Amino acid sequence: MAKESTPIRKSSEHRLSLAQERFKNLARFITTKAVPAIAAAALALSLQGEGTAASPTPQSPEGKRLTMDFFTPDDHQNQFYYADGPLVNPTDGLSEFMVGRYAVELILPESTGEVDPNQENWTATQIQNVYEETNTGFNWWPKFEPRANLSFVIESPKVVHTKYEPINHPAFSAAEDIWLNDILTNMGHTENIPLNQKIIDEATALRDRNGADQAILVVVVNSEIDPDGSFTNFISGHTWYHKSLIVMTTDNDGFGLENLDEVTAHEAGHALGGAPDQGKDHLCEKLSPSYTKDKNGNSELPPGCETDLPSIMRSDVEGAYRGNHLDPFARVHIGWGDKKADGINADGILDSAGTYQYSYTTTQTANDTTFTGTITNTAWPPPAGWTDPVNFNFISAVTASEIFTGQEFQVQAVDGAFDSQREDFNVTVSGNAKLVKLCFMGHFGGTRCEIILDKARHQYLPVIRK
């Protein structure tokens, strides 16, 4: 993997001046999000050096940690990090959890200088590095859960013109909405439709053309010339949960383009369900805005929660990425379940046992019995009233067998293949079969078996119960 880009380092004087101004902006930003304690700390830091001798110089992260990077779509009106529900789900299940095949579109804004002065310009080397680093970052995830059948198809980067220079605007703001709108309009979307709808339309087209289950847009903003690699409110890489959108810079406030894979892995965790593990000190008592709405018990701030484990979802992104650390709460948020910690995922999305519905009729001849019926796989349900059910699991196999002899009977899909959420089937069982089970299997896990024939209930059933 190419590692050619070197992050720009600033003098301490420049960093102090820049950090003071950006902490002011950050304080104003956070105050509107109902986090007064953080706002007070940010404001205090911003005032250092104004008429008094500066205490320890506020420093930007030096490639170690990543914070202030996770937002829900209603944060403009509601709370920082978490919504009290019901969950806003503007992307109609396009990025719900880490299961299945994901399509990823890399969008690289290029300023035309029409409104903002042109500052940053993409080079062929940068573009290739972005592609390689994001590939590596997304593909950090699949090794943790083979049952998820998780894979990523990442399209070649698209350089898209915009009238603005994104790095010179605040992140998570109306200004960000403006340049994102401009980019998506230039990608062919109707100018006057809302930004959320543009994102939905682009992600849907991305998913469909790649035959994927889910899709996500990744906007990488060039920050090579920018002095600190962050937007003007001190935020760099960030994610809008349930918006199928990640926004990063090439430097990400000191990580550097050569470590974009680390930031990508962290932001992918947020975008696909993982709540932050570095938020407010009462974070462990809040429910995550994930599809499963489970609590987050691995906060790294005092007084701590149930666990204190290194994790890619904590701010120490570099250490967790290189050490392959993922905490159990994050696993639940992204759909990998096992809330009971018993090694069985029956309470999570990967195991859809209990979500099959079936019905059948029988036709009997002198020697055989034919079963004709329908099987439907329904969504793993989110908490009541939280969000709409999302399901892209499908029936991948149906088997029938005699329990005592092991004899198997061929189950046929009426349409020729078991590959959808609703399947019509038929199977013929020979007359000598005594006890026959029918089993349904989902592509992403979950098997359910039912007895469909029991000719000798009183003779064999006690044996089965043993």
Domain CATH code at residue 388: 2.60.40.10
Q: How confident is the model at residue 316 (pLDDT cuts 50, 70, 90)?
A: confident
Decide if 379 is inside a domain: yes
Q: Domain ends where: 301, 333, 365?
A: 333
Average pLDDT estimate for 151-174: 96
pLDDT value for 36? 35
Asked if residue 376 and residue 312 are part of one domain, the reply reads: no
Statement to judge: residues 325 and 363 lie in one domain: no
Question: Which sign, positive or negative, has the C-alpha torsion 379, 197, 87, 343?
Answer: positive
The order of strands in the sheet holding 368-377 is: 356-364, 368-377, 422-430, 411-413
Per-residue pLDDT at 34 exceeds 60: no
Residue 65 to residue 333: CA distance in whole angstroms: 21
pLDDT band at 338 (very low <50, low <70, confident <90, very high): low
Mean pLDDT of the 336-346 span? 56
Q: If you write DSSP's letter for every residue of 402-443 in order, what string do you get?
A: ETTT--EE-EEETTSS--BSEEEEEEEEETT--EEEEEEEET
If asked whether residues 233 and 96 sit together in one domain, one would say yes
Q: Are both 221 and 101 inside the same structural domain? A: yes
pLDDT at 82 over 60: no
229-252 confidence digits (pLDDT tens): 999 988 888 887 656 899 999 999
What are the angstrom distances between the C-alpha of 311 and each of 153, 294, 334, 424? 25, 17, 13, 44
pLDDT of residue 246: 94
Report the range out of 20-24, 48-52, 159-163, 331-335 with the highest average pLDDT: 159-163
More confident residue, 338 or 236: 236
Which tokens is 238 given?
A: 């960030």
pLDDT, position 423: 95
**pLDDT band with cut points at 50, 70 and 90 for residue 87:** very low
Does residue 95 form part of some domain?
Answer: yes
Share of the chain above pLDDT 90, in %: 42
Does residue 172 belong to any structural domain of this protein? Answer: yes
pLDDT at 59: 35
pLDDT band at 407 (very low <50, low <70, confident <90, very high): very high
pLDDT in tens, 265-313: 999 998 887 665 554 434 565 666 677 767 777 877 666 777 888 999 8
Higher pLDDT, 225 or 50: 225
User: What is the rounded distance in angstroms from the CA atom of residue 371 to the CA atom of residue 361?
Assistant: 6
What pLDDT shows up at residue 348? 63
* Contacts (Cβ under 8 Å, ≥6 apart) of 141: 98, 150, 265, 268, 269
**pLDDT for 225 beyond 50:** yes
Which is higher by pLDDT, 236 or 71? 236
User: What is the length of the chain?
Assistant: 466
Residue-level pLDDT at 66: 58
User: What is the overall mean pLDDT for the chain?
Assistant: 76
What whole-number distance in Å separates Cα of residue 312 and Cα of residue 266? 6
Cβ–Cβ under 8 Å, residues 82 and 132: no
Residues 380 and 305 in one domain: no
* Residue 264 in domain: yes
For residues 297, 301, 307, 312, the Cα torsion angle rounded to the nearest 10 degrees is 80
Q: What is the pTM of this model?
A: 0.74
Predicted pLDDT at 324? 97
Candidates 32, 33, 27; CA nearest to 83 is 33
pLDDT digits (tens, 9 = 90+) for 126-137: 999 999 999 999
Structural domains of the chain, count: 2
Same domain, residue pair 317 and 203: yes
Q: For residue 52, is it within any domain?
A: no
> How confident is the model at residue 169, as a pLDDT?
96
Tell whether 379 and 236 lie within a shared domain: no
User: For the segment 117-157, what is each residue's pLDDT rounded down to a tens digit?
Assistant: 999 999 999 999 999 999 999 999 999 998 888 999 999 99
Are the beta carbons of 422 and 391 closer than 8 angstroms?
no
Give yes or no for residue 178 having a pLDDT over 70: yes
Both structure tokens of 373: 């019926």
Sequence-ordered list of residues with C-beta below 8 angstroms from that of 346, at least 6 positions apart, any chain: 337, 353
**88-97, 125-134, 213-222, 267-276: range with lowest mean pLDDT:** 88-97
Q: What is the pLDDT of residue 332?
A: 83
Radius of gyration of the chain (CA): 26
90-94, 309-313, 385-389: which is most confident:
309-313
What average pLDDT does range 357-379 have in this prediction?
A: 90
The verdict on 221 and 132 lying in the same domain is yes
Residue 12 lies in a domain: no
Range of lowest pLDDT (59-73, 113-127, 272-286, 319-333) = 59-73
For residues 329 and 360, membership in a common domain is answered with: no
3-state class of 43 per DSSP?
A: helix
The number of helices, as runs of H, and strands, as runs of E, in the chain is 9, 15
Residues 125 and 190 in one domain: yes
Task: Kindly list the distances between the CA atom of residue 396 and the CA atoms of 147, 404, 444, in Å, as whole numbers in the listed order.
Answer: 14, 25, 9
User: Given this model, what pLDDT does residue 162 score?
Assistant: 98
Domain boundary among 333, 365, 394: 333
Distances (CA, A) of 233 to 16, 77, 127, 134, 179: 14, 19, 25, 24, 16
Residues 272 and 72: their CA atoms lie apart, in Å, by 12
pLDDT at 442: 84
The whole-number pLDDT of residue 121 equals: 97
Domain that holds residue 81: 62-333
Helix H or strand E encompassing 399: strand 395-402
Q: What is the structure's pLDDT at 347?
A: 54
Residues 392 and 323 in one domain: no
Q: Is residue 296 part of a domain?
A: yes
Q: 328 with 360, same domain?
A: no
Q: What is the pLDDT of residue 147?
A: 81
- HSE (side-chain half, CA atoms, 13 Å) at 183: 26
The mean pLDDT value for 13-38 works out to: 40
Which residues are within 8 A (CB) of 462 and not within 5 positions of it... i.e. 6 or more apart? none
Highest mean pLDDT (candidates 2-6, 203-207, 235-239, 444-448)? 203-207
Per the domain annotation, does 3 fall within a domain? no
> DSSP for 120-175?
----HHHHHHHHHHHHHHHTTSGGG-GGG--EEEEPPPEEEEESS-GGGS-SSSHH
Residue 195 predicted with pLDDT over 80? yes
